[in-house]
Amino acid sequence: MYNIVIARYGEIGVKGKNRYVFENRLIKNIKNNLKEFTKLRVYKDQARIYIDIEDNDYEEIIQQVKKVFGVVSVSPATKLEADYDLLKKSCLEMATEKVEFEGAKTFKVESKRTDKRFKLTSPQMSQDIGGYILSNLGDKLKVDVNNPDFVVYAEMREENAICYVDKFQGYGGLPIGTNGKAMVLLSGGIDSPVAAWLVAKRGVEIEAVHFHSYPFTSERSKEKVKDLARVLARYCGKVTMHSVNLLPIQKNINQNCPQEEMTILSRRFMMRIAQKIAKERNCTALITGESIGQVASQTLESLNVTNAVVDIPVFRPCIAMDKTDIVSLAKDIGTFEISIIPEEDCCTVFLPKNPVIRPKLEKIVGSELKLDVESLINEAIENMESERIEP
């Protein structure tokens, strides 16, 4: 029945003279997400993106297109000749399926006439098509313009006619690659993948840096983070992940600094290292999954001390979110089940019994004077491993 998929965008439509840049990028990203399918044609027409699906499974295509940031909704549709009688028959066929397979009992018709040469206005089309459907299904279906079980959408255009009955929500946002690049500090927890996803939704390309403490942390814990990066790649495209062993730095902190400062000092090293890698990789911001007060390193005082070591913006999209909201989004995007797999991470190594929760910057800086900060950072980056993660 269906031979095309319609992808709609929202915010892109108000971009003015450079709208075509966002549209073209959206088309490119949709094509990338559909590269496993053959004989597809993706193109734009009248403020929409169309995909000619040929013999491909439209449901699989819809699942992939929904993940593309910038797409607000997707519909499987039938494109016909510009023949009104064919359009009416196709609308009836779709309404019949809704009744027989979904048990629908009420409907309405919404029509659009873009070919002004056509004799009926849009409201007249809706009345006529609705009457035609009722004449065939009147014993099973009735009109409800306020709260129908489904809506039949019918369009008469100059070159063709289109009809569809379903709209599946996308995530909206802006196409990846239209708003620069940022580096996410990606752990194996719940929050940082969600933070990366939220920033990527605004059109930001993502790279990731993961800190581990091998051999105190296992290879399995690193694989877990790679699995999270693979999920993110479904939405963001390929993700370059940099793995940094923090253990030598943690040992130095443990030997030379107060135990209660381990967490905040480690965090400052992570931020320094992430920023240095970010600048080398042309990333202009960092992303973290921090949320106010969630753990000792996420009090306002701790965040201020952490921020003091970097000079590029730090995006914290989860900062004011409740944990339940973060978990809900993690489940929706597919990272939650991976995040809750019990594996140790670098933050559990040398974990102090009573970490400082309101650190003073001058005291933390004083502790760092006992360390060769630059050498430790350079050594960590020199031994870094980088890998391109695909969906």
Binding residues for ATP: 185-186, 210-211, 267, 289, 298
As annotated, the binding site includes: 185-186, 210-211, 267, 289, 298
How many Cβ atoms are within 10 Å of 92's Cβ, its own excluded?
A: 18
